[in-house]
Amino acid sequence: MSEQYCDTCGREDRPLTVVGDVYQCDRHVPTPSGGPAPRSTPLSAYRDVIATAITDAGYPDHLDTATISLVEDCLRTNRTGLDHLSREDFAVETYAILTDLIHHPDQTRTLCELLGFEIPCWVERPPAAQPLSVERTSETILATLHHAFPHTRFRLTRGHGAARSHLVLSWVGGPAKSSVDDVLAQFLPDPNSLTSPHRYSCVAIFTCRQQPLPKAV
């Protein structure tokens, strides 16, 4: 039996209906008015988790239903479910997805039209993104490092007072300092674009790789 998929969005994991000589999923079967079927509301459990992740990512003005639905659909791409994702996974992946959607409004509009989703209002009038707090910046850095180097335990220390946005990262053994620095580069301000807003509340990350103690014979 040949695989069947929606001729509009290409998805094959949703109920399909024959419309004319093509297949349409439940989100694209035309209504009596001729338009696509309305987007169903995401599951409440995931809705709350995704809304929290969006806020943690520094986009508190993007909590509308259209945005949450779009982020959930992107999270489900190439997945059979979302139950296996931890809170840190949700936060990191939601941030990456939403940042990409916001930075490419034309592609986001096209994606919404293909999926039959309502287009979020920020696609036409993007609100200014708020930088992550120092605490959330630290959590995001550690989650990213854990994903890149799962067998290494990192310790991140924040400065005090005027040096609050200066961070010190240390670890024992594990990856080379240059490898960790490559991962951390995304969290630092772009020296070639000092006028553009920065997504993270840190201006410098000092790294310190310690050699493991020799084992006693």
Per-residue model confidence as pLDDT tens digits over 10-64: 445 445 555 555 554 554 444 444 544 444 444 446 788 888 888 777 777 788 8
- Answer yes or no: is pLDDT of 1 > 90: no
Model-level pTM?
A: 0.47
Q: How confident is the model at residue 154 (pLDDT cuts 50, 70, 90)?
A: very high
In words, the CATH class of domain 134-210 is alpha beta
Instruction: Please give the full DSSP string across the chain, using - where no structure is assigned.
Output: ------TTT---SS-EEEETTEEEETTTSPPTTSSPPPPPPPPHHHHHHHHHHHHHTT-TT--SHHHHHHHHHHHHTT-S-STT--HHHHHHHHHHHHHHHHH-HHHHHHHHHHHTPPPPGGGTSPPPPPPPPHHHHHHHHHHHHHHH-TT--EEEEE--GGGTTEEEEEEESSS-HHHHHHHHGGGS--TT-TTSPPSSS-SEEEEEEEPPPPPP-
pLDDT of residue 94: 84
pLDDT of residue 193: 62
Which of 126-130, 170-174, 180-184 shows the lowest mean pLDDT across its residues?
A: 126-130
Task: Give the domain ranges of the chain.
Answer: 44-123, 134-210
Per-residue model confidence as pLDDT tens digits over 51-103: 888 877 777 778 888 999 899 888 888 677 777 777 777 777 888 888 888 88
